[in-house]
Structures are given as structure tokens and as C-alpha cells.
Amino acid sequence: MSVHKKLMEARIKLNSHALKKSGHNKFSGYHYFELGDFLPHIQGIFHEVGLCGVVSFNTDYAELSIVDTEDGTQITISSPMASAELKGAHPIQQLGAVQTYQRRYLWMTALEIVEHDAIDAGTVEPKTPAAARVSEKVTPVSAKQAQQVEPSPGSLNIPADTKNWLQAVVDATGIALDLCKTADDVMSIFKNNRSIYDRLKSEQPDIYENVMSLFKTMKESFK
């Protein structure tokens, strides 16, 4: 049985489990899958069919390598990295938040776990990045490559030429807002990324309005 056939078998087996969403964004009013909702089920299924999943990170991509434990063949799921730096939060906490989001996206992509389409639904719920891709090769990651480049406080580190730029902005904004501790933190995110949001307003006014609504709701929550 090939690694592709085993992965497909794992997807079918996971469909027989009644997964429940424990994550809740109280500001936007939606529920979502957390890692703990599906990862224990996946690990049991992978052990049963003979697969092993390993997540790795570098400054450009997060990758999930799924390896056939019998013949060593593998599939790699990759997602572009996005980062958020927020005043008042420890850098390792910010890095941990980004990596947790990426791990969730990668496993959801690999196992075809479905959540509603946030953009079509008019919300900005994080969803599996459309830029996730499948390849047959893993590039080793050195410790130096894995170091995160620290941006200025409150800034979203999203290059203008990032693939799937729109989703990267939405995801990074959600991460940053989740880390906010004061109304000033909320305003800092917007002010320090004004050029990004100006572009968003010009190219996707509907999405821009949704994002601004989240800013307003988050700011008011601290009153």
C-alpha cells in the first residue's frame, strides 16, 4: 500500500469519528477545531495504518511530512509562514501562537478536515491556507534557518509578494488580536500596519470592513 493510499484510508477512518469543535472566538461568535479536537484521533489512526507525521518550521514555510513507516515514502504538506509581533507579549509566546496555528492548518489540510469558508461567510475565522501544497521532498531545516526574524512591535511580518497575501493578512491579524491585552495594543496593530490595511481596503473592501469590525469589537472589549 502506497503512502497516498494509506493517507486516503486515514482520511476515511477519521470521517467515522464525531469530531466536536471546542474552540470559540467570543468576539466573532464562531466555533472552530482546536488541535486537541482531532490530533489524538489522527495519531491513533496513523499508528493503525502505518503512517507517521512530523511537523517542522523555518522562516518561510511550516511543513508536515507524512511518512510511510514501512517503505519510507512520504508526502509533504507546506504552508507559508506568517508572524505577528505584539508589544507586551514575550517573543516565545508569539512564536508559539503562530506555530500552533500552523500545526492546526497543516493537519486539517492533510486530513481534509472541513470548516466553513470564513471569507464567503463574511467572517475572518482562520482557515486552512489555500496556498498549502503537496510535494515529494523534504528540505532539511538548520537551527539557523529556524530562527524567527523579529519585526518591530505591533507589526505583521507579511511581505507584499507573499503567496495568498489576503489570507496571510487575515490570519496574522487574528493571531495578533488574540494576543492583545489592552485597547492600546489593538490600536498599535492597526497603526503599525496601516499600509497593509490600506492595500486590503483598496483590493478587498468587503474583507477590510470585516477586519475593521474585529478591531472595533476587540477594542471595545477592554472598556
210: left (phi over 0), alpha (psi -120 to 50) or beta: alpha
The grid cell for 173 is: 491579524
Taking alpha carbons only, the member of 221, 87, 209 closest to residue 151 is: 87
C-beta atoms surrounding 9 within 10 Å: 16
In 106-198 the beta strands, taken as DSSP E runs, fall at 133-135, 156-157
Domain ranges of the chain: 3-221
User: How far apart are alpha carbons 19 and 17 in whole angstroms?
Assistant: 6
pLDDT tens track of the chain, all 223 residues? 689 999 999 999 998 888 888 887 766 667 888 888 899 999 999 999 999 999 999 888 899 999 999 999 999 999 888 776 655 667 777 787 788 888 988 999 999 888 754 444 444 444 444 444 444 443 444 444 434 433 344 677 777 776 677 777 887 887 787 778 888 888 888 888 888 888 888 888 888 887 888 888 878 887 7
Helices (H), 32-137: 35-49, 91-110
Phi, psi angles (nearest 5°) of residue 45: -65, -45
Q: Is the pTM of this model over 0.75?
A: no
Give the distance between the most distant pair of CA atoms in the chain.
58
Q: Nine-digit cell at 182?
A: 489592552
Q: Which residues contact 184 (CB under 8 A, 6 or more apart)?
A: none
CA-CA distance, 73 to 148, in Å (whole number)? 30
Residue 49's pLDDT is 95
> pLDDT value at position 149?
37
